[in-house]
């Protein structure tokens, strides 16, 4: 079966510290992968998406970067966190060519202090 | 300009009543898809229903139906016979086109639905 794993579930980091959030997908190959951020009480904002290994598209200029070192692995990073990076980060995947079927991970709640 | 607009930040509905959550969208692409997701307090995103731009009939999934009015660019979610477990945030989202290189979902700001016993 197809599953998506996202960790950690919660994270508290000081301002200026680095960040690495990981998302992996099982049971499929060559998925489209996405990173979304949700500020408290707000909608989901698309940060990055990837259609293949090493291919990253950025939607919003910011303090974050993304990488896809393997087909089913998507990593969100920051060298120095800002207070404004706090939020709920969701990874999602989708099989190319399907009309729908976006699947979301369980999310990481990041608090920058 | 906002591509997805949800004008109801919050709604309170009596249990067992029907509820309509509003969503309007903006696109010039003839091929698009509209989604509704439910987000309980746990944060997970639960897919509810999908409507394609070329679908002739309104989508239905159990107690959920999507009132698709293409000319008005409206895709309202209707929940019949609401239950306490329906209390959550609800997001409308749109996928534009079918460009394999740029396929992504754009979300609205959401509606917080509270069901009152």
Q: What are the tens digits of pLDDT across the range B25-79?
A: 999 888 899 999 999 999 999 999 999 999 999 999 999 999 999 999 999 999 9
Question: Which of the pair, B23 or A1, is modelled with greater confidence?
Answer: B23
**So what's the pLDDT on residue B97?**
64
CB-closest option in A43, A102, A106 to B109: A43
Which of A42, A97, A100 is opposite residue B50, by nearest beta carbon? Answer: A100
Can you give the pLDDT at residue A27? 85
| Residue recorded with tokens 């709640």 | A109
Place of tokens 């990481």: A108
CA B4, CA B111: separation in Å to the nearest integer? 12
- pLDDT value for A29: 83
Tell if the CB–CB gap between A43 and B33 is shorter than 8 Å.
no
C-alpha distance from B94 to closest chain A C-alpha (Å): 10
CA angle A75, A50, B102 (to 5 degrees): 150
Q: Does A44 touch chain B (CB under 8 A)?
A: yes
Interface check for B91 against chain A (CB to CB < 8 A): the answer is yes
Confidence of residue B17 (pLDDT cuts 50, 70, 90): very high
Distance CA A68, CA A53 (A): 5
Q: Do A102 and B35 touch (CB under 8 A)?
A: yes
Per-residue pLDDT tens for B71-107? 999 999 999 999 999 999 999 999 986 665 667 889 9
Q: What are phi and psi of A72, to 5 degrees?
A: -115, 25
d(CA B104, CA A44): 12
Task: Spell B16-39 as b/e; 16+ CB within 10 A means b.
Answer: eeebebbbbbebeeeebbbbbbbb
């Amino acid at each position: 079966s197809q599953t998506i794993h996202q960790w950690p579930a919660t994270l508290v980091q000081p301002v200026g510290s680095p960040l690495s959030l990981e998302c992996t997908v099982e049971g499929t190959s060559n998925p489209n992968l996405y990173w979304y951020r949700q500020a408290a009480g707000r909608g989901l904002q698309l940060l990055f998406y990837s259609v293949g290994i090493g291919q990253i598209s950025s939607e919003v200029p910011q303090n974050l970067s993304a990488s896809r070192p393997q087909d089913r692995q998507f990593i969100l990073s920051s060298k120095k966190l800002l207070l404004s990076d706090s939020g709920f980060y969701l990874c999602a995947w989708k099989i190319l060519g399907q009309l729908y079927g976006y699947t979301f991970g369980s999310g990481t709640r990041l608090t920058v202090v | 300009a906002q591509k997805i607009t949800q004008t109801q930040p919050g709604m309170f509905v009596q249990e067992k009543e029907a509820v309509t959550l509003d969503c309007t969208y903006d696109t010039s692409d003839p091929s698009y898809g509209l989604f509704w997701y439910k987000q309980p307090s746990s944060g997970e995103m639960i897919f509810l229903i999908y409507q394609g731009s070329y679908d002739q009939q309104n989508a239905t999934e159990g107690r959920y139906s999507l009132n698709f009015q293409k000319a008005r660019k409206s895709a309202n979610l209707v929940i019949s016979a609401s239950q306490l477990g329906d209390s959550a945030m609800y997001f409308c989202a749109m996928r534009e086109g079918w460009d394999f290189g740029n396929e992504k979902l754009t979300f609205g700001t959401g509606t917080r639905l509270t069901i009152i016993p």
